[in-house]
Structure 1
Amino acid sequence: MLTEFHVSPAGDDSAPGTLDAPFATLERARRAARKATGDVVVHIGAGTHVLDRPFELTEDDSGRDGRRIVYQARGYGTEEQEQAVVSGGREITGWRVRDDGAWVAEVGDLDTRQLYVDGRRAERAGIDGLPGDARRSATGYVTDHPLDWQAPGGVEFVYRGVYPWTEARCGVASVTRDGDRSVITMVEPAFGWAVALYTSAWEGQVMDGPGLPTRIENDPSFLSEPGTFVLDRSRPGRHVLHYLPRPGEEPSRTRVVAPALETLVRLTGTRDVSFKGLVFADATWLRPSTERGFLHYHGTGYHDGGAVEKVVIVEDEAWVTVPAAPRTIPACVSLRDTTGIRFEGCRFTRLGATGLGATGGEDVTVRGCDFDTLAASAVTVTGVRKAVIEDNLVERIGLDHSGSPGIAIAETVDCVVAHNHVREVPHCGIVAGPGRGTRIVRNLVTGSMSVLADGGGVYLSGPQGDSPGNGAVVSGNVIKDTRTPYNFALYTDYGAAWVTVEGNVVAAADNTAVLQVSPPLENVVYRGNFWDADPMGSDDVPAGVTYEDNTTIADKAELDAATTGIQARAGLRRSL
């Protein structure tokens, strides 16, 4: 038995939910689906379905007795498929145009970190670095340059490359004058946490704290580049949005959307539900704007106070401090302890955190989806059994948080990451932390590591099993154009163990791979790979590594000719 419901932005929740008399909201459809028997399909019609709170599914919203509940774009899989957008955004109206051409709107208590103009991302206005002769103080910074910031309490400092793989954010509390100096007091506890966290040494030279900011954002005085915006929150409940338009934009015919929700969809304990052909868009993440800041450490992890630990690389010469209990950037579409959840043919776009995140549970599938214009990662999967991340396009991610990998998995069992194309990302393309039975196969990673350093197109760390039968396999992947200095396109790092790296193609990287790391690799096999340069350490292979039958071909045309079959099978296959 199949039960069908229809939803349209022009519908009515008092209607029966038929094609001719659809519901108006997803929430009404959820309630109807909960009461239905047999398989249920909710057809979501064309248009923008604006949420005023997260769309939440619990255990009671599960499929039962072998049935599934499907939320899909009307006409999914046909030429008549409609574009149904699930949005957490708020359209901004009531603009007034200042004499300098900037648009200004009163937005009440709206808080956001992103803005989209006719669907295109607007950047937060900013300047590069702190002007004048500046130095850090106990509570912030001092500079001999007069600062004419109009709303200093909303200004945010960005620290790119405190460690080569980090990008932190911390707010300004106030700016005062002291004679010829400008005294900047930073927000606490974030600034104190940053000083405690970012200490390290390299070749005996100690770095203490975050140093000077690399970029400063979000003051009306920074608004000089068309297509940029500022949110002035200096008057609580009376926030003001400033936008400097691009040529040709007019308030009367330009649609401006500010993400208002942090979570679009949340599933907790839900079973056997599918989402097909939907667009998930327009969400933000406000944590970096709080007094706790965003003290990034690695990947999607950040420091939230508490203890830090010292990791010694070379005794008395090189060490770093790391969070003892890091937290993870959340996802705008969030799964926790779910079973049998599917996302197929969906798009995740204009999101202020990670696109899709799954924690705990089992049997999660993300297939044939597009991820773009994201502040953080596309997909993160933690502690899930039997996840499949397959045939997805990932691009333009990490736009606000540059350390975010395209796809990240950790503590998973029998997870498959296959046939994805990850391109133009600021740090790692695909990351696997400790796990068991991981398969990273036939992915195409191009243009990774474009902003931060010390990572790779495919990166693994920690134990990946305890025998050849349950270790990780990294096979048939093609990794090209790994950009920043100090990278390893195919990177087994930090105690990686029980990994087979076989039949991959690597070209145009600072380093193709590395065999000598700390802690050392154990039971790692590099076999039958093709690359344009020898991996670091291949001339003195460590005891924990087997290195055999690999081929180095420096000439690009010859390398491509020798690996035609591998390259043809890597990447997206949805059109095959």
Structure 2
Amino acid sequence: MFHFHVAPTGDDSGPGSVDRPFRTLERARSAAREVSGEAVVSLRGGTHVPAGTFELTEADSGTTYQAYGYGTPEKEEAVVSGGRPISGLREQDGVWLADVGDLEIRQLYVDGRRAARAAVPGLPGTATVTATGYVTDSAEPREWRGVEFVYRGVYPWTEARLSVAGVAADGDGTAITMAEPGFGWATELYNSTWEGNTSHGPGLPTSVENHPGFLREPGTFVLDRSRPGEHVLMYLPLPGEDPARTRVVAPVLERLVSVEGTRDVAFRGLVFAEATWLRPGRPGGFVHYHGSGYYEGGGVETAELGEGSSVTYPAASVTIPACVTFEDTSGTVEGCRFTRLGATGLGISGGDGFAVRGCDFDTLSAGAIMVSGGRGPTIEDNRVRRTGLEYSGSPGISVTGTNGCVVAHNEVTQVPHCGIVAGVGEGTRILRNLTVDTLQVLADGGGVYMSGPQGDGPENGAEVRGNVIKDTRTPYNFGLYLDYGASWVTVEENVVMHADNTSVLHVGPPLSDVVFRGNFWDADPLGHDNPPSGVTYEGNVTLKDEHDLNAATEAIRSRAGLLRG
């Protein structure tokens, strides 16, 4: 085993020893590639900033990157950052200003705290939709430059973002022209009929972000892009903050780490932070549909919901990217933290036997862990909280297209939509997880949500067992939700409480070869008294008194959630 060390104060001309470490990750990677056999690269405490996306390939197989002292009380905090510290801050009328050139900034972190973009609710005055945007009888929007409209709840499970292309006087009011093709895509996608009411297009925005005039709440920021290439960052400080002592960081890299085609690679005890995703601010916007998926053209289809109700949905969708990605790789991510990231934290596609264990995910614009394809991935003992801060439809943990995936003993809390999502797959096992405070923003989801076929028989079907699902917040939800033709699923010994609806047995397309057995609820699932032909409902217990429910489920609850306590 070969050992190398890297430190922010090191020297790339040195040997990479503990007393003469390398300075950059790139130099450490080169050294590890030059040896025959496995290598360990230990990162000393501090912030490590790669020159660009830190990429590992097949040549890096067998290499471990870890925090110095990992597994001991002397472990140091090593941060791999895609951010840029903002210098030259000056104060003007109580607002901090910094010239940042052509830098695009969607997120900002002040002494490690996420600063929100300044925003106001909706459009001022009386506004109506036009073919190219909006008109309002208010003159206020004439001053807006570089703003972004947010559309929360066009469908109960969606939240879109679209940029404004221009504003102009329209009599006493303002004409607002939206950026294309995003506005056209949104008009194409969002069409529904519900209980006789028809809607067309995204409608009026629910909030507007990123104009200097919106800086009213301390701790918020905007990026003034009124002069191309001469952008100005503006931040309204919290009481007691001093520009001379405060560390302000803007994420720059969109992909922080990329690992592809590598075998037996490991990351242990590291912090991954301050990366971004700039796509939503471009003319195509973020035309969100469901979960981590968004629309960028290609046509829509119509889902008939019965009784004259319908919604249009994308014929094909694109997925929010991850800031740290593993593709066709085997290995382990263990004891790491993913924080202050502007997209999904960790993305895994393909591969065989990849494992994510004992990690923490927080302060993320999108979801925490996204797994697509691959055999036998394991997602275990991870803590997920405060995700989906910018893209509210993002699930905490999502898996789709996998074979033999295990999602076990995770804790998912404070997320805006679903906690754990499993799409079409084979042999998925969702075991003894704890979800609390899910669906805090959007509706029509669950603490655990599973959709589509899950195998073609009992041998490779899915198992949802021993999970505790509490406090699914928004109205119109189902705590434990099997949807859209889920099949070959056994749902057993779960506990669901404090949801709008605990579960539902009648969905479209219908469930088939699904068994609900031995679950505990504080309210009967919808359809429990008349299960459809594809559902077996037996031995489930409804206890409306919380004390009785807790007493009856103590053993299940004690085994759910994190293994590390």
Q: TM-score, normalised by structure 2?
A: 0.99
C-alpha contact (below 8 Å) 1:457/1:490 kept by paired residues: yes
| Distance in 2 (alpha carbons) for counterparts of 1:279 and 1:375 | 16
C-alpha contact (below 8 Å) 2:427/2:460 kept by paired residues: yes
Tell me if 1:96 matches 2:95.
no
Find the counterpart in structure 1 of residue 16 from structure 2: 17
Q: C-alpha offsets along residues 320-366 of structure 1, whole Å, 9 cap, x if unaligned?
A: 1111110000000011121x221000000000000000112221100
Greater CA drift, 441-450 or 301-310:
301-310
| Distance in 1 (alpha carbons) for counterparts of 2:19 and 2:442 | 52
CA shift for structure 1 position 153: 3.6
| Distance in 2 (alpha carbons) for counterparts of 1:518 and 1:181 | 46
Find the counterpart in structure 2 of residue 530 from structure 1: 520
Runs of 4 or more consecutive aligned structure 1 residues displaced over 4 Å after TM superposition? none
- In structure 1, stretches of 5+ residues that fail to align are 64-68
CA shift for structure 1 position 38: 2.0
Greater CA drift, 303-312 or 432-441:
303-312
Q: 1:365 aligns with which of 346, 355, 362?
A: 355
Q: C-alpha offsets along residues 215-274 of structure 1, whole Å, 9 cap, x if unaligned?
A: 100011111110000011222221110000000001000000000111100011111100
CA shift for structure 1 position 149: 5.5
Tell me if 1:273 matches 2:265.
yes
Tell me if 1:296 matches 2:295.
no
Tell me if 1:558 matches 2:562.
no
Amino acid at match of 1:247: P
Amino acid at match of 1:87: S
Alignment of 1:385-404 (within 5 A): 385-404=375-394
Tell me if 1:407 matches 2:400.
no
Tell me if 1:346 matches 2:329.
no
Find the counterpart in structure 2 of residue 460 from structure 1: 450
Q: C-alpha offsets along residues 49-71 of structure 1, whole Å, 9 cap, x if unaligned?
A: 012311000112112xxxxx110
| Distance in 2 (alpha carbons) for counterparts of 1:309 and 1:60 | 44
| Distance in 1 (alpha carbons) for counterparts of 2:474 and 2:102 | 40
Tell me if 1:318 matches 2:280.
no
| Distance in 2 (alpha carbons) for counterparts of 1:257 and 1:222 | 21
| Distance in 1 (alpha carbons) for counterparts of 2:335 and 2:54 | 19
| Distance in 1 (alpha carbons) for counterparts of 2:27 and 2:562 | 36
> What secondary structure, in the 3-state scheme, does the structure 2 residue paired with 1:363 have?
coil
CA shift for structure 1 position 95: 1.1
Tell me if 1:381 matches 2:375.
no
Aligned-CA RMSD value: 0.9
| Distance in 2 (alpha carbons) for counterparts of 1:121 and 1:393 | 19
| Distance in 2 (alpha carbons) for counterparts of 1:219 and 1:43 | 43
Find the counterpart in structure 1 of residue 157 from structure 2: 165
Find the counterpart in structure 1 of residue 69 from structure 2: 75
> What secondary structure, in the 3-state scheme, does the structure 2 residue paired with 1:557 have?
helix
C-alpha contact (below 8 Å) 1:6/1:45 kept by paired residues: yes
C-alpha contact (below 8 Å) 1:141/1:183 kept by paired residues: yes
| Distance in 2 (alpha carbons) for counterparts of 1:417 and 1:483 | 23
Find the counterpart in structure 2 of residue 66 from structure 1: none
| Distance in 2 (alpha carbons) for counterparts of 1:36 and 1:557 | 61
Q: C-alpha offsets along residues 371-410 of structure 1, whole Å, 9 cap, x if unaligned?
A: 0000000000001111000000000000000000000000
| Distance in 1 (alpha carbons) for counterparts of 2:77 and 2:36 | 28
Q: 1:145 aligns with which of 115, 135, 138?
A: 138
Q: 1:87 aligns with which of 78, 81, 85?
A: 81
Q: 1:433 aligns with which of 404, 423, 427?
A: 423
Greater CA drift, 229-238 or 21-30:
229-238
C-alpha contact (below 8 Å) 2:370/2:398 kept by paired residues: yes
CA shift for structure 1 position 566: 0.3
Find the counterpart in structure 2 of residue 4 from structure 1: 3
- In structure 2, stretches of 5+ residues that fail to align are none
Amino acid at match of 1:168: A
> What secondary structure, in the 3-state scheme, does the structure 1 residue paired with 2:527 have?
coil
Amino acid at match of 1:31: S
C-alpha contact (below 8 Å) 1:149/1:220 kept by paired residues: no
Amino acid at match of 1:217: E
Tell me if 1:549 matches 2:549.
no
> What secondary structure, in the 3-state scheme, does the structure 2 residue paired with 1:311 have?
strand
Find the counterpart in structure 2 of residue 191 from structure 1: 183
C-alpha contact (below 8 Å) 2:344/2:370 kept by paired residues: yes
| Distance in 1 (alpha carbons) for counterparts of 2:203 and 2:291 | 21
| Distance in 2 (alpha carbons) for counterparts of 1:462 and 1:567 | 28
In the alignment of these two chains, the number of paired residues is 565
C-alpha contact (below 8 Å) 2:26/2:50 kept by paired residues: no
| Distance in 2 (alpha carbons) for counterparts of 1:313 and 1:482 | 24
Find the counterpart in structure 2 of residue 118 from structure 1: 111
Amino acid at match of 1:467: G
CA shift for structure 1 position 148: 4.9
